[in-house]
């Protein structure tokens, strides 16, 4: 996940598909990339979670 995130340009993202809510991964992103990532639930269970993880768009 983190290698894929590192290759994103500002404003780009990818969708993670998981069989449970990836809350631990979200906490890790918040700790290692504070304020520079986006985290948007596209689908929230009960069987499938889809989360769009992105690099925040550059300001300016």
What is the pTM assigned to this prediction?
0.89
pLDDT of residue 59: 58
Dist CA 5 CA 26 (whole Å): 13
Average pLDDT over residues 39-56: 97
For the segment 20-34, what is each residue's pLDDT rounded down to a tens digit?
999 999 999 999 999
Query: pLDDT averaged over the chain?
Result: 94
For the segment 3-16, what is each residue's pLDDT rounded down to a tens digit?
999 999 999 999 99
Q: Measured at the alpha carbon of residue 54, what is the angle toward residues 40 and 57, in degrees to the nearest 5?
A: 110
Percent of the chain whose pLDDT exceeds 70: 97
């Amino acid at each position: 996940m983190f290698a894929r995130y590192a290759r994103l340009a500002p404003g780009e993202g990818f969708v993670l598909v998981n069989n449970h809510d990836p809350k631990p991964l979200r906490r890790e992103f918040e700790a290692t990339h504070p304020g520079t990532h986006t985290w948007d639930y596209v689908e929230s269970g009960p069987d499938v979670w889809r989360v769009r993880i992105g690099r925040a768009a550059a300001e300016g």
